[in-house]
Amino acid sequence: MNRFQKNPAHFQGWGRVLSAAFFLAVLALFLLGLDSLSGATARQEAEGLKRSILQSAVHCYALEGFYPDSLSYLEDHYGLTYDPDKYVVSYEIIGSNLMPDVSVIPLR
């Protein structure tokens, strides 16, 4: 063998190590992106639930002349549903003619 030929046995070990390192780096980037995407989706779902609760309360006010005194009233009469294992909803009524204060907190 002359000096211009590469020794395949010498570079074969480094090739495997570099391939494995590259694969792990790509996998880590993929998992970070997936985690970021799921966090953004959870925030959007919480905001959507808050909007739905407020829209149902306004709808109740427009039809009945008062804001509902509890979240269960919206669930029973206006078909509002949500997953209580996934979100904690704070529905605080201020008065029958004032819009309630709504907070939605994701549990995960």
Hey, which residues does 75 pair with through a beta bridge? Answer: none
Per the listing, tokens 């985690």 go with: 35
Q: Environment class of residue 49 by beta-carbon count within 10 Å: exposed (0-12), middle (13-18) or buried (19+)?
A: buried
Q: What is the pLDDT of residues 61-107, one digit of tens each?
A: 999 999 999 999 999 999 999 999 999 999 999 888 899 999 999 88
Q: CA nearest 104: which of 75, 76, 84, 78?
A: 84
Q: Does the global pTM surpass 0.75?
A: no
Pair 23, 30: CB distance under 8 Å = no
Pair 49, 88: CB distance under 8 Å = no
Q: What is the pLDDT of residues 3-48, one digit of tens each?
A: 666 665 555 667 788 888 889 999 999 888 888 777 788 889 999 9
